[in-house]
Amino acid sequence: MSNMSNDKIWSVNIGQACQGSEESVNWLTQQAQGKVRAYIYRVTLDNDLSDDLTQETLLQMIKSIKNLNEKENFWPWMYRIAQSKVQEHYRGKQKEANVVSEESFYKDLMSRRGDIYQDESVRELIQQDLLKKVMVAMKELKQKHRAVLSLRCFDNLSYAEIADTFDCNEVTARIMFYRARKALRKKLSNKGISGNMMIMSLGLFGRLTLSPEASQSIQGESISKASLKVGPAATIIGNVFTKQSAAVIAIAIILWMIFSNKDSVSSPPVNNPPIPTSNLPFRNEVNSLHFTVQVLDGDPNTDGSLSKGAYERWFYFPEGIDGPSFMRMQRYNPDFTEKLCAWLENEQACYYYESGADIVYITNSRVAWSNLRVRRLPTDPQELIDFIEKVEGDSDFAREYFRDEKTGLVVSSIDNRFANVTGYISDYEYNTLSPETLEYKWDEPVESVVDKRDEMHKRGWGYYRIEGELDGKKISGHGRIPFFYNTCKEYSAWISINIGNELEIIDCGEGAQMRRPDGTVIASYPAGTFLKGLARPWMGMHTADTIRRDAAEKRIWFFSEWHENEEDVVITLFDNKNKDGTNTIYTVSYENDIIENIIFTSGEDIKGTLDFTYLQDLDKETAEFKEPVIKDTSQTAAIDNPDTLWIMDLAEGKL
C-alpha cells in the first residue's frame, strides 16, 4: 500500500475490515483512536472520561464494522457511535456532569499540554490570559454545540454527514451549526474577546484539544489531513502556534472556508428556506420532543416589544404521541443570558421552580397559558392547528413553520415577531430523550420545597360525584379520576351516569356502554368515549386545554374567558349546526385543574346544570364508588354524530 494515497489506504482498509480482515480492523483502530479521542474530549472536556468513552467507541466499531454498508460513511458512522456513547453516559442528567471549577479545568488542561509552552506566540497568549478565556468559553457551551463545531470545523464533515451523526435532517444540522457558532460568539464576547477573533479562538481550541497521538504526528501530511481536516486550511491550523503570522493566515483562510463556502451556513433564509426531507419518525412513532421558542408578550399585537422570554421544552410520551405526556420547561430571558423559573410535570406530580426565591412548589395544576390560548404541540396534525387558529385567531403572525414532507412533523420555525430577537430559529428534535429527562431534578440550588396540593392531589387520584338536571330529568353519577400517570395504572379512570329513569352511561378500562335501567345494553363503544369532553389530567394537559382540544378534534367552535372571580376559566362550546341550539358552558378551576360545573343554555335560557364535587377525605363512606362492569359486548354501534362530543348530544337529547 506504500504507493497509495492516504485516502485510498483508508478506503481499502475500511473495505477489508467490513469483510472481516483482522489486520485491517486493527489498522483502523490504531489510526482512528486519536481522532475519536479528540472529538470526545472536545465534547466532554473530561480527560479520564474521554479515555474510557474512546475505548468503548473503538470496541463498538470492532463489533459492528461488518454492518457498515457504505464505506464512504465510515467517519459519520464512527462519530455517531461516539456521540451515542457520550449521550448514554450523560443520559438523564439535566446539567452536564462537568462540575470542575474553571480554574481547575484550565490548570489540568495546561498541565497535560506542556508542549505548548515551547512556542513564543503561545506564551504571549497565556500571559494575556486569552487562552484561558477561550477554553473557558468553550467549556461553557452546550455539549451539542461543541460537538457540531468540532465535526464541522475540525473534522470537515458536510452538513449531510453531521445530520447522519445526529440522526436528524440536513436543515436541522445547518441550524445546529448556526446556533453553535452564535452561542460561541456570545460566550467569547462576554469575556471581552471580539467577534473577529472567533475563528482564531476555534483554532486555539482545536489545537489544544488534539489527542497526544494526533498532536505528535500533526506535521505528517497524511495524518494531519486525517486528524484535523478542515479543507485547504488543515496544515495552517496544525501549525497555528508555530508562527504568529500563521494564526493571521489561518483566520483569513478559515473565514473564507466557513463563511463563504457554498456548503457553509449563515442566518437561515426567512422567505424561502429549503423544504426539508428527512428520516424523521412518523407521528405514531414519536416518543419524545425537544424545542425552544420565544413566547409573545401579553398583547399579541405588540410585535416590537420584548418577549416574555425563551422557553425550552422537553416532552416524553410513555405510550406514544396520543397517550399521556410528561413535560419539563425552562424559561430564560430573551437572549439566553439568564435562567429564570422552571416547570416539571412528570408521572407523579406537578412542580414549579421559582428562580427568585429558589423554592420549588408542588401544585395541583398543570401549566395553562394565562392568555387562555390553547396549548399546541409540533406533533399536532396541521388540520387541528388550522382549526384552532381559525377559532382563536392566528397569534403566530411573522412566525413561519416548516414541516417535513414525508412525516408532516414540524422540523423548524423562524420567528420574526420581536424587534430585539428577530429571526429567532427553533429546531425540533424527536426521539432524543429518555424517561430520566423528566425525573425530579433542578439545575439550580433549591432552598425549600412547599407542597401546595390538596389531599386528593397528594394521593394522586380521587372520587367525584355528579349531580344536576337537564330538561327536567335528574342526572346523577360518580367516577374516579387519576391525576398522574403512575396512579392511573392502579386507580384507572371510570365514570357512571344515570339520566332520569331512561339511560345509564358507563365508561371504564374495559370499554363504554349505554344501557337501559334494567341492564339491557343499547350500544357498546371503545373505552374513553364518554371521557372525551371531560377532565383527563393523567394525560398531561390542563383540563382547560383538554376540553378545548377535544372540541377542536370534532371541529366544534369554542370561546374562552376568565370567570368574574378571576380564578376560574369559562369555556363555551357552541352548536355549530344550529344557531338556536344548545351551548355547553364549562367552569374549570385554573388552580386545581378540575371541572367545577357544566351549564347547558339555549338562547337566554338555562336548560340544565351538572355540578361536580370531589372527595378529599376517603375515610367517609365510599361504597357507592364501585367501578362499573361491562356487560354483553356483542352489541356494538358507531357514535351517531361523530362530529360532536357526547356531552353535547346529551344536551340536545340525542343520546
pLDDT digits (tens, 9 = 90+) for 261-299: 434 333 333 333 444 445 688 899 999 999 998 876 544
**57 has a pLDDT exceeding 80:** yes
Residues 172, 554: Cα–Cα separation, whole Å? 34
State the Cα angle at 289 between 394 and 551, rounded to 5°: 45
Are residues 425 and 268 in contact, defined by beta-carbon separation less than 8 angstroms? yes
* pLDDT of amino acid 481: 97
Residue 238 DSSP SS3: helix
Residues 427, 145: Cα–Cα separation, whole Å? 14
Q: End-to-end alpha-carbon separation of the chain, Å?
A: 82
**Chain centroid, CA 331 distance in Å:** 13
Dihedral, 202, 208, 210, 211 alpha carbons, nearest 10: -160
pLDDT bracket for residue 482 (50, 70, 90): very high
More confident residue, 470 or 298: 470
Q: What are the backbone dihedrals phi and psi of residue 495, each rounded to the nearest 5 degrees, phi first?
A: -150, 145
Give me 508's grid cell.
Answer: 371504564
Instruction: Tell me the pLDDT tens digit for each residue of 365-412.
Output: 999 988 899 998 888 988 998 899 888 875 554 567 888 888 888 888
Alpha helices per DSSP H over 398-525: 455-459, 485-490
Dihedral, 37, 43, 44, 50 alpha carbons, nearest 10: -10
Are residues 87 and 97 in contact, defined by beta-carbon separation less than 8 angstroms? no
Instruction: Tell me the pLDDT tens digit for each residue of 22-45.
Output: 888 888 888 888 889 989 988 888
CA distances from 169 to 159, 264, 536, 637 (A): 9, 16, 35, 44
Identify the H or E element spanning 521. Answer: strand 521-525
Task: Please state whether 358 falls in left (phi above 0), alpha (psi between -120 and 50) or beta.
Answer: left
Instruction: Tell me the pLDDT tens digit for each residue of 416-457.
Output: 776 666 677 888 999 989 888 899 998 888 999 999 999 999
* pLDDT of amino acid 273: 41
Instruction: Tell me the pLDDT tens digit for each residue of 486-499.
Output: 999 899 999 999 99
* pLDDT of amino acid 431: 92
pLDDT bracket for residue 9 (50, 70, 90): confident
Model-wide pTM > 0.75: no
* pLDDT of amino acid 386: 87
Are residues 296 and 395 in contact, defined by beta-carbon separation less than 8 angstroms? yes
Residues 271, 290: Cα–Cα separation, whole Å? 25
**166 has a pLDDT exceeding 60:** yes
Instruction: Provide the mean pLDDT of the chain.
Output: 78
Q: What are the backbone dihedrals phi and psi of residue 327, each rounded to the nearest 5 degrees, phi first?
A: -140, 135
pLDDT bracket for residue 256 (50, 70, 90): very low
Residues 487, 485: Cα–Cα separation, whole Å? 6
**225 has a pLDDT exceeding 50:** no
Residues 315, 378: Cα–Cα separation, whole Å? 11
Give me 3's grid cell.
Answer: 504507493
**120 has a pLDDT exceeding 70:** no
Q: Which residues contact 566 (CB under 8 A, 6 or more apart)?
A: none
- For the segment 52-74, the average pLDDT, to the nearest whole number, is 87
493: closest CA among 469, 450, 460, 452?
460
Are residues 611 and 476 in contact, defined by beta-carbon separation less than 8 angstroms? no
**479 has a pLDDT exceeding 90:** yes
Are residues 294 and 306 in contact, defined by beta-carbon separation less than 8 angstroms? no
Task: Please state whether 55 falls in left (phi above 0), alpha (psi between -120 and 50) or beta.
Answer: alpha
| Domains of the chain, first to last | 6-260 (no CATH), 283-453 (2.50.20), 457-652 (2.50.20)
Alpha helices per DSSP H over 440-503: 455-459, 485-490
SS3 content of the chain, % helix, strand, coil (to 5): 40, 20, 40
pLDDT bracket for residue 187 (50, 70, 90): confident
* pLDDT of amino acid 196: 60
Are residues 353 and 444 in contact, defined by beta-carbon separation less than 8 angstroms? yes
Please name the residue that has the C-alpha cell 374562552. Answer: 560
Give me 269's grid cell.
Answer: 433564509
DSSP E strand stretches across 219-358: 288-295, 309-316, 326-332, 339-345, 350-354
State the Cα angle at 276 between 272 and 280, rounded to 5°: 155
Residues 545, 551: Cα–Cα separation, whole Å? 10
Are residues 540 and 366 in contact, defined by beta-carbon separation less than 8 angstroms? yes
Lowest mean pLDDT among 175-179, 208-212, 548-552: 208-212
pLDDT bracket for residue 56 (50, 70, 90): very high
- For the segment 599-603, the average pLDDT, to the nearest whole number, is 89
**% of the chain with per-residue pLDDT over 90:** 32
Q: Which amino acid is at 9?
A: I
Give me 603's grid cell.
Answer: 338562547
Q: What are the backbone dihedrals phi and psi of residue 351, each rounded to the nearest 5 degrees, phi first?
A: -125, 145
Residues 616, 374: Cα–Cα separation, whole Å? 29
* pLDDT of amino acid 67: 83
Lowest mean pLDDT among 69-73, 117-121, 322-326: 117-121
**255 has a pLDDT exceeding 90:** no
Residues 487, 456: Cα–Cα separation, whole Å? 12
Report which DSSP code applies to 355: T
* pLDDT of amino acid 164: 86
Are residues 10 and 229 in contact, defined by beta-carbon separation less than 8 angstroms? no
Please name the residue that has the C-alpha cell 478565556. Answer: 133
Residue 294 DSSP SS3: strand
* pLDDT of amino acid 444: 82
Strands 448-451 and 359-363: parallel
Residues 386, 411: Cα–Cα separation, whole Å? 18
* pLDDT of amino acid 89: 85
Residue 575 DSSP SS3: coil
**214 has a pLDDT exceeding 70:** no
Report which DSSP code applies to 268: P
pLDDT bracket for residue 313 (50, 70, 90): very high
